[in-house]
Amino acid sequence: MSELASVVQLLQGLAMVAGSVMIMISCLGLWRFRDDVANVLYGRIHVVGIIDVTCIAVLLVLDYPLVALTYFLLMPVAGHAVGNARYYMVKEAREE
């Protein structure tokens, strides 16, 4: 293995570890959100969006562009579906 390849592997490993640590810290912060706030779900969706960007960056550094593209296309749709479901659930509860 050439020296350049080993440096690239080292940088990929460091990026994966750094991304994993940032994701774990974000998850702990997400877990600590209080549930007594009216619109806490939207704050959680925002934090999950930031975690998604970190995941996409790590996937690109690890040379998985197809997985990163799939993640990039599907995760906003899932987040929007969850937020939309919450909006209409609250709207129906207020109408009753």
For the stretch 13-40, pLDDT in tens is: 888 888 788 878 877 877 777 766 677 7
pLDDT at 1: 63
pLDDT confidence bin for 88, thresholds 50/70/90: very high
**Who contacts 91 (Cβ-Cβ below 8 Å, separation ≥6)?**
none
Q: pTM for this one?
A: 0.65
Please tell me what DSSP assigns to residue 34.
-
Nearest to 52 by CA among 87, 79, 34: 79
6-10, 58-62, 89-93: least confident range: 58-62
1: Cα within 13 Å, side-chain hemisphere: 8
Segments making up each domain of the chain, as ranges:
3-95
Q: Please compute the mean of the pLDDT values over residues 56-84 and round it to a whole number.
A: 88
